[in-house]
Structure 1
């Protein structure tokens, strides 16, 4: 995800606030931002480093080399600007909270959509199986078995969805829900759907 969670100029001020806490290298700043957003937003290096370069040009931060890492540190000029705009930080924090909520809702929506799609595929497969069945007395048996199987599958999917939503919310609050986790979930759900459809098609 790469949403525009910061209004113009706010990320610049937020970086100064993070550097006021302590000197950090670029990856630590990315991690700090990700933690503030509960893992639902992680800025790219292409977003962070140009802003750090601009802050350095303006004399608000300095950088030094620590082994293979470049560490950024706020200057007195940076602290002065931060102090003069301290009142804006509270508003930014409020925006961050709202953004976390919106992004978490987006994650849940994606998971719900994937689950609905899987359930629709299963129901469609059951309908196709009923259509393909003969019109003899075996049809009643096939329909009954198909309906029972769809009902059981629906129960399993609902239980999985509820358990997963609870765990996602818990991990988001702990700052452990990341884009990688969501991508893994979507990929695994796609794999399960494909495997189920292959198994049904083979019957």
Structure 2
């Protein structure tokens, strides 16, 4: 996927978001996702190191709000935004272009997936109309079963993709809210995924 932010631009843009209001990490991720219409959502591993860097530079401060860490811009941070106002405007213009590029890539990916599915269905239909030589003629019922199987495969792959995105979002939200994962958590996840895979393989 096309890079969204040029080197150093995300750091300055995070500072501008904090100038609007104090936010915790997950709120920053949500704000960025909203700016991009859902086509881009940075990971916690992208956001938090930059927040730590901004804090080290004295441009933001953080306070604890229950289990959440809230970041606020400092006077030094506002001064930097004022000094780099022209650069920030350029970043805003670049973001508009990035949103269009990402939207085009998403549309292209969906279109390609649909073309692939239509091609698979057309291939199944051809096979049903013209059975291979020296093989039993495939009945219409059998052709329908193959077509249904290909559609089911597509649906299964979509479900797996949705599941991955949803779990990833849940994990990011948990990290943003201050939850700490341990090696035991990783072992549990690995064990449960292996169990789910075995269950699917046995279908």
1:186 deviation in Å?
Answer: 6.5
Q: Following the alignment from structure 2 to structure 1, what is the Cα–Cα distance between the partners of residues 48 and 79?
A: 22
Higher RCO (CA 8 Å, separation ≥ 6 residues): 1
Gap regions ≥5 residues in structure 1: 135-141, 150-183, 191-203
- TM-score, normalized by length of structure 2? 0.65
Number of equivalent positions: 145
Q: Following the alignment from structure 1 to structure 2, what is the Cα–Cα distance between the partners of residues 108 and 73?
A: 37
Gap regions ≥5 residues in structure 2: 134-139, 145-154, 162-203
RMSD: 2.8
1:12-161 superposed matches below 5 A: 12-132=11-131
**CA contact 1:60–1:74 (8 Å) conserved in 2:** yes
1:127 deviation in Å?
Answer: 1.5
1:48 deviation in Å?
Answer: 0.3
Residues 118/44 of structure 1: CA separation in 2 closer, same or farther (3 Å cut): same
Residues 98/35 of structure 1: CA separation in 2 closer, same or farther (3 Å cut): same
Q: Residue by residue, what CA displacement relative to the aligned partner does 1:105-161 show, whole Å, maximum 9, x if unpaired?
A: 111111111111111111111221222189xxxxxxx8xxx9xx9xxxxxxxxxxxx
Match of 1:6 in 2: 5
- TM-score, normalized by length of structure 1? 0.65
Q: Following the alignment from structure 2 to structure 1, what is the Cα–Cα distance between the partners of residues 54 and 21?
A: 16
